[in-house]
Amino acid sequence: MLLLHQVARVDPRRAERELRTLATVIKRVAMVQATEVALMASVAARAPLRLTGTGIESMRPPLPPTQLPGSPVLLVHGFCGTKSSLSPIAHCLSAQGLTVDTITYTPFGTSVERLADRLVAAVYRILAETGSDKVHLVGHSLGGVVIAQAIADGRLDGLVDTVVTLGSPFGGSPWANLLPFGEVVRALRDGSPLLRRLATAPAQDGVRWLVLTATQDLVVPGLRSVPAHAKVHAVTVGGVGHLGMLLSRRVVKQVVGHILDAAAA
């Protein structure tokens, strides 16, 4: 306020412009966070339904052999997410003629390592079903950490074309420090053994990795969503939060463009 008073004594019109700009910024941030709260409330309301189940499962019957262009795409949602969480991305990729499967899981009563085991099995299955040599992997939040773990243990060597992670807590999430339960939650805390292992794991050769971060992400703020290894291309999207990025046209465009570029290469 002292700065604004000083500006007002020099140029009242400039002070008015500064106040209007500040008010606009505050309004935009408030709208983004209001959207985040609404989305989180929706996720929380569905959480009891996620307490059942044993891990990653496909939500569709087995695919018949297909000749669709490009490698198939596997989408992995975040903590307490559902198949519908990634619907905008899935619909846009399907519209481009790519084979897309969304896999879902419960994060309770399991671990990141066990979820990665199931993801590896899902990759083998979709490659066998489609006759493709490689797969694209897209993960939001915890889903990205599951993908990183599956890659780090070496069982997907040579089988992954591209990876896209959105707001994944490779550097930990402050929220995980507040939640007292669950092996998966403990793995997402700052400096956990799992995150330390992933930070030192070498990048897989030949995998193009796109990292998307959001300026209003309070769940995985700042650069916590960028893996430690250097072989990633990071893009920051403004004006969206941790869950809102899944509904952002700019984010969807980045994901689809990255995968289509790889398919055309």
pLDDT tens by residue, 102-126: 998 988 899 999 999 999 999 999 9
- Rounded average pLDDT over 141-158: 95
The first and second tokens of residue 243, run together, are: 């869950």
- Rounded average pLDDT over 196-206: 90
CA distance 21 to 4: 12
pLDDT of 179 reads: 76
Q: Is the pLDDT of residue 12 over 90?
A: no
Confidence band for 159, pLDDT divided at 50, 70 and 90: very high
pLDDT of 9 reads: 52
pLDDT of 48 reads: 41
Q: What is the pLDDT of residues 56-79, one digit of tens each?
A: 444 344 344 334 457 999 999 999
Domain ranges of the chain: 2-45, 53-264
Q: Is the pLDDT of residue 173 over 80?
A: yes
HSE-up of residue 117 (Cα within 13 Å, Cβ side): 7
- Rounded average pLDDT over 212-231: 91
Q: Which residue has the tokens 């066990």?
A: 114
CA distance 152 to 199: 10
Tell me, rounded to whole angstroms, the distance of Cα 120 from its chain centroid: 18
Contacts of 155 (CB under 8 A, 6+ apart): 120
Class of domain 53-264: alpha beta
Q: pLDDT higher for 26 or 124?
A: 124
| Contact by Cβ (8 Å): 188, 169 | yes
pLDDT of 63 reads: 40
pLDDT > 70 fraction of the chain, expressed in percent and rounded? 74
Lowest average pLDDT, out of 1-10, 87-96, 127-136, goes to 1-10
- Rounded average pLDDT over 187-208: 93
pLDDT of 158 reads: 94
Angle, to 10 degrees, between the axis of helix 249-264 and the axis of helix 87-95?
A: 40
pLDDT of 265 reads: 75
Q: What is the pLDDT of residues 27-63, one digit of tens each?
A: 343 444 444 444 444 443 343 434 334 444 443 443 4
